[in-house]
């Protein structure tokens, strides 16, 4: 039901943008919208590859870039942060582009689009991925479930389901949804072990693939240096091993972020980068993690809280919106149309009287 509702909303937003209904919202928009993307792909993938839709069709991003270049003021993240830190007003219709996780497709597919439309993006890199120590965990479980030869996977790891039915493609998609929800709740000191356990029981591991699919590949250090040199990209930090900082001990968090910063400095000459909190929701960061980052020289950090950024926003807790899949969806998000709809829905919901009856509690 949620997927159907989301599909209907996407089509409605697309229609509103095509009909020009976002224009009045653009004129009233206040603050900056930071957009968040991950990897990119060209066309459809095979089987369960990209089942999570983490990797956006590059043509959809190209449509978004064209829309943003035409109707919005796209600036680098560090420029937005400098204005906020100086207490200067943030120009209306300001948009910032960010990509998380350091996928090679940011170089092969996204960079040509950024150059075509004269745009700038910040890419947040978890350096263990670049160092080929790990693959991203959503890609690892996707690969394991897609490639298993079993019809049923039995797991014995606290926090994970004991039994997964993977007897059909549909059942495998359900299994991936269940695992995604469960893994996010696993304590950080056991997170990588839980992924390895799934791979071992499934009998398939992305790390053992001789020629992994393009969407799963990380940037190289040479590509990172080329991205920085292009003038269209800034490289930011995303920890070393994608740890959720507030769920780690202070010692582990400091060591992991410090290693990321050291590698960015020695391998790419990047000093004092901006930062993206892994997962980025309240509870994934706190006052202690903010102080830790500031102690390490970081003065700008982004979350995944969906809101606009004003001149009085905290530069260590900047908000970001989700990944629009085409130009009209980008317009609907950046114009403020979607927040306006959500606000109206929230107001109407608050006006609905609550019943004391539990007759329909199921």
Q: Give the span between the Cα atoms of 151 and 135, in whole angstroms.
A: 25
pTM for this one?
A: 0.89
Burial-class residue 238 by CB neighbours within 10 Å (0-12, 13-18, 19+).
Answer: buried
Give per-residue pLDDT as tens, 315-330. 999 999 989 999 989 9
End-to-end CA separation in angstroms for the chain: 16
Please tell me the least confidently modeled range out of 64-73, 108-117, 219-228, 352-361. 352-361
Q: Is 151 exposed, middle or buried (0-12, 13-18, 19+ CB in 10 A)?
A: exposed
The percent of residues in the chain predicted with pLDDT above 70, rounded, is: 85
Least confident of 47-51, 331-335, 348-352: 348-352
> CA 146 to CA 153: how far, in whole Å?
12
Residue-wise pLDDT tens digits, 58-103: 999 999 999 999 999 999 999 999 999 999 999 888 999 999 999 9
In angstroms, the CA 172 to CA 118 distance is: 41
How far is the C-alpha of 71 from the C-alpha of 110, rounded, in Å?
Answer: 20
Phi and psi of 78, rounded to 5°?
A: -65, -30
CATH superfamily entry for domain 34-47+54-133+218-346: Glycoside hydrolase/deacetylase (3.20.20.370)
CA 196 to chain centre: 23
Domain with CATH 3.20.20.370 in the chain: 34-47+54-133+218-346
Q: What is the pLDDT of residue 44?
A: 82
Q: Where are the alpha helices (DSSP H) in the chain?
A: 2-18, 23-28, 58-71, 77-86, 105, 111-117, 127-130, 137-147, 169-183, 188-202, 221-229, 250-268, 287-295, 327-334, 337-351
pLDDT for 355 equals 38
Task: Please tell me the distance from the alpha carbon of residue 276 to that of residue 262, in angstroms, as a whole number.
Answer: 16
Residue among 25, 95, 10, 38 nearest 323 (CA): 38
Please determine, for residue 339, whether its predicted confidence score (pLDDT) is greater than 90: no
pLDDT in tens, 256-305: 999 999 999 999 999 999 999 999 999 999 999 999 999 999 999 999 99
Question: CA-CA distances (angstroms) from residue 272 to 9, 131, 288, 297?
Answer: 40, 20, 19, 6
Strand partners, 235: 123
Q: What is the pLDDT of residues 7-54, one digit of tens each?
A: 545 556 666 566 666 666 665 667 899 999 999 999 888 889 999 889
B/e letters for 313-349, b = 16+ CB within 10 Å, e = fewer, are bebbbbbbbebbbbbbbbbbbbbbbbbeeeeeeeeee
Distance CA 334, CA 25 (A): 9
pLDDT at 345 over 70: no
């Amino acid at each position: 039901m949620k997927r159907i509702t989301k599909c209907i909303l996407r089509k409605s937003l697309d229609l509103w943008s095509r009909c020009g209904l976002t224009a009045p919202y653009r004129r009233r928009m206040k603050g900056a919208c930071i957009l968040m993307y991950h990897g990119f792909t060209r066309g459809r993938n095979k089987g369960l590859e990209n089942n999570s839709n983490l990797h956006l069709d590059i043509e959809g991003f190209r449509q978004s870039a064209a829309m943003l270049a035409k109707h919005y003021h796209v600036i680098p993240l560090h420029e937005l942060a400098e204005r906020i830190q100086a207490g200067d007003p943030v120009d209306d219709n300001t948009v910032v582009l960010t990509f998380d996780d350091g996928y090679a497709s940011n170089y092969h597919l996204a960079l040509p689009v950024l150059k075509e439309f004269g745009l700038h993006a910040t890419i947040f890199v978890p350096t263990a991925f670049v160092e080929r120590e790990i693959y991203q965990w959503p890609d690892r479980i996707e690969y394991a479930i897609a490639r298993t030869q079993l019809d049923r996977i039995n797991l014995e790891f606290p926090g994970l389901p004991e039994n997964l039915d993977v007897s059909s493609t549909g059942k495998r998609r359900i299994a991936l949804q269940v695992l995604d929800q469960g893994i996010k709740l696993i304590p950080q000191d056991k997170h990588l072990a839980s992924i390895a356990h799934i791979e071992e029981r499934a009998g398939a591991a992305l790390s053992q693939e001789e020629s992994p699919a393009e969407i799963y590949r990380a940037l190289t250090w040479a590509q990172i240096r080329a991205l920085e040199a292009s003038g269209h990209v800034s490289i930011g930090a995303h920890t070393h091993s994608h740890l959720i900082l507030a769920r780690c001990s202070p010692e582990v968090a400091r060591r992991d972020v410090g290693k990321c910063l050291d590698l960015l400095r020695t391998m790419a000459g990047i000093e004092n980068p901006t930062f993206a909190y892994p997962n980025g929701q309240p509870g994934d960061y706190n006052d202690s993690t903010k102080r830790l980052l500031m102690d390490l020289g970081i003065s700008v950090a982004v979350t995944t809280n969906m809101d606009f950024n004003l001149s009085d926003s905290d530069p260590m807790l900047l908000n970001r919106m989700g990944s629009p899949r085409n130009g009209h969806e980008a317009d609907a998000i950046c114009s403020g149309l979607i927040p306006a709809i959500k606000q109206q829905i929230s107001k109407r919901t608050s006006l609905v009287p609550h019943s004391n009856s539990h007759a329909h509690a199921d």
